[in-house]
Amino acid sequence: MLQEISSEYYPMWNLKFRNKILNFLKKENIVSNNFFELEQLHKYISHDMTIDKDFPSGVNEVRNALYDIDWGDIYYNFIFFVYSILEYDFYFMEKPNIRVHCPQRSQPKDFRYWHNDTEQGHPPEELNIWMSLTENKECSFELLNNENNIEEVNSNLNSFLIFKDGSDDVVKHSYCPVVNETRVSIETRINPKEKYVGGYIGTGRMKAEFKPGGHFGYDIKSASEIFNEI
């Protein structure tokens, strides 16, 4: 399964999430109030904040700071939007993940990190939702299908992807390295309620529990319950 959903027009989700991040960076005095070019973030923050300590995860100090963002209604409204498209109920991550890929001085400039989330303990029923929050010229998101063909998805502000690892369309995913730009993306995962199976725990540092209300896992509410509140 692979769907590309346009967000070029209202409600313009990419820009909503991007602006939220920009406002947070300014509020925390990480960047100045006249900063807007997220693609050049690495030039305006200390080098220590850009270091990928678990290369090539995209997890660094600036990303860790962004984890404290209060998304307000934006995230729930986005989940409701996805629910209206898919037309079935699902559980979803309590908080979305943010990836901030900055140029790495001491790392190879050419690499791929092909993986799927089931290798990291995620339920095989999960679907990925990936969205770029920057417009990058040099790097893209990449999808590998079961025929070993690579599909490049440009980092733009016009759309987002819904895909399932392990399908014919997408076996694994990766991304091109950044050399002169910062690439920021946001991702969440959803699990169809009618297919939900409990007991999965992530292999990462947080040991996420993929169940409603679980530690670093799914929101206590399903998408249909969000629908009834909005």
In whole angstroms, give the CA distance from residue 157 to residue 14.
5
- Angle CA(23)–CA(27)–CA(33) in degrees, nearest 5? 70
Amino acid at 24: F
DSSP one-letter string for 158-195? SEEEEE-TTSSS-SEEEEPPPSSS-EEEEEEEEEEGGG
Q: pLDDT at position 122, please?
A: 93
Per-residue model confidence as pLDDT tens for the chain (230 residues): 789 999 877 889 999 999 999 999 999 999 999 999 999 999 999 988 888 776 666 678 898 899 889 998 999 999 999 999 999 999 999 999 998 988 887 666 556 778 888 888 999 999 999 999 999 987 778 888 888 888 888 888 999 999 988 877 888 888 777 888 999 999 999 999 999 999 999 987 788 999 999 999 999 999 999 876 65
DSSP per-residue string spanning 15-33: HHHHHHHHHHHHHTTSS-T
Q: How many domains does the chain have?
A: 1
Residues 137, 84: Cα–Cα separation, whole Å:
32
> Half-sphere exposure of 99 toward its Cβ, with a 13 Å CA cutoff?
21
Structural domain boundaries, residue 22: 2-229
Q: What is the CATH number of the domain that holds 215?
A: 2.60.120
